[in-house]
Amino acid sequence: MSSDELPKELSSEELINFYKKMLLIREFELRITKDSGKIKSPLVHPYTGEEAIAIGACAAIDEDDYITSTHRGHGHFIAKGGDINSLMAEIYGKEGGICKGRGGSMHVADFSKNMLGANGIVGAGPPLALGVALASKMRNEGKVVLTFFGDGAANQGMLHESMNLAVIWKLPIIFVLENNMYGWSTSVKYATAIKDLSLRAQGYGMRGITIDGNDVIKVYKTTKEAIDLARKGGGPTLIECKTYRWQGQTTMDADKYRSTEEKEEWKKKCPIEAYKIKLIKSEVIDRTIIQKIEEDTLAQVELSVKLAKKSPKPNATTVLDDIYKNPIDLGGN
Ligand SMILES: Cc1ncc(C[n+]2csc(CCOP(=O)(O)OP(=O)(O)O)c2C)c(N)n1
């Protein structure tokens, strides 16, 4: 089946949900970046342009499967079903935040959704995912783990050790490489000699595939295949999703290392716009539905900002809460 065809196993509602959720990530991020000067934790890593990866990949797993994320975690959080009000409050550093305002943008997690956390350490998600996948296998839970990471992380030793062990132990883990072409200001062409980073999988005896990361259906189908195989005991897969980050590395990045032409070229390949056209052509949605979705999304985001602003600041006396489970466990007194 070509990726132009919409998967028959998905209902119109599910297909429309892909669109709704990609748009929610986009509008959420645009709203934060607009407000970034006023937000307590202004260092936000925007995911704009990469939405199809989080949505396509997370749609392929079950609710009780796991994900690990990166420093660019809002998209993964939303895709895994996290609540945007608590996400927004977290970014505002407020008590109503998912981590009670203590983690900020880079550390969002929602254990109730098995979203095991964004992470400020590049490449730290895969070893965590490895442990979770090993636990799932040893407990016979049948759950799989998606671990998201970037092209910069693809050169980190932690990733390679994780891929090697995942193959040897045949673990139910999918390595989702978000190749947005830059590790901060370093072009992937400068950092890596190979064209497709999925080739790395061969060195470990793993399946590796490179796909268009801006095609949400392609991401969904490829992840689904890999997940089905992993659940049957077939071990891990590395999926390289080629994409592009539209905004700077962070909201504080002057972004001088990329040409305007390059950015404009990639904006023409907008994953949300491309998918919208596909849905219209397939008569899954029409202009009226689109308008309604757009209005609802903006209203949802505005509500989250309103609630975040109203939420109280964390009380300084509680700063150590949730850090130590029990000091006696740690040998303290
Ligand atoms: C171990 C480590 N090294 C360096 C950094 C600084 N740093 C933060 S983000 C980043 C770029 C990461 O690039 P990539 O893995 O491609 O992810 P992307 O930001 O493109 O999503 C770097 C080098 C860090 N946070 N952790």
pLDDT tens-digit map of 272-310: 999 999 999 999 999 999 999 999 999 999 999 999 999
Query: What CATH fold (topology level) applies to the domain 16-311?
Result: Rossmann fold (3.40.50)
Say yes or no to pLDDT of 234 above 80: yes
Closest atom of ligand 1 to CA, residue 70 = 21
Q: Nearest C-alpha to atom 12 of ligand 1 is from which residue?
A: 183
CB atoms closer than 10 angstroms to residue 200? 21
Extended strands (E) in the chain:
66-68, 145-150, 173-179, 182-183, 186-187, 207-212, 237-242
**φ, ψ for residue 112 (rounded to 5)?**
-65, -20
Integer Cα distance of 283 and 266 in angstroms? 26
Write down the pLDDT at residue 235.
97
Write down the pLDDT at residue 246.
96
DSSP one-letter code for 97:
S
CB-based contacts of 102, cutoff 8 Å, min separation 6: 314, 319, 322
All structural domains of the chain with their residue ranges: 16-311
Ligand 1 pocket member 70 (CB < 6 A): yes
Task: Specify the higher pLDDT residue, 179 or 328.
Answer: 179
* Average pLDDT of span 195-215: 98
Integer Cα distance of 2 and 252 in angstroms? 40
pLDDT in tens, 31-50: 988 776 666 555 789 999 99
Ligand 1 pocket member 47 (CB < 6 A): no
Q: Nearest C-alpha to atom 6 of ligand 1 is from which residue?
A: 122
**Encoding tokens for residue 13?**
């509602």
Ligand 1 pocket member 152 (CB < 6 A): yes
Ligand 1 midpoint to CA 123 (Å): 8
3 state DSSP class of 72: coil
As a whole number, the mean pLDDT across the chain is 93
Ligand 1 pocket member 93 (CB < 6 A): no
Write down the pLDDT at residue 40.
57
Say yes or no to pLDDT of 332 above 80: no
Write down the pLDDT at residue 318.
84
* Average pLDDT of span 92-108: 92
Q: In 3D, which of 85, 132, 92, 87 has the Cα closest to residue 110?
A: 87
* Average pLDDT of span 92-120: 94
Write down the pLDDT at residue 61.
98
Ligand 1 pocket member 153 (CB < 6 A): yes
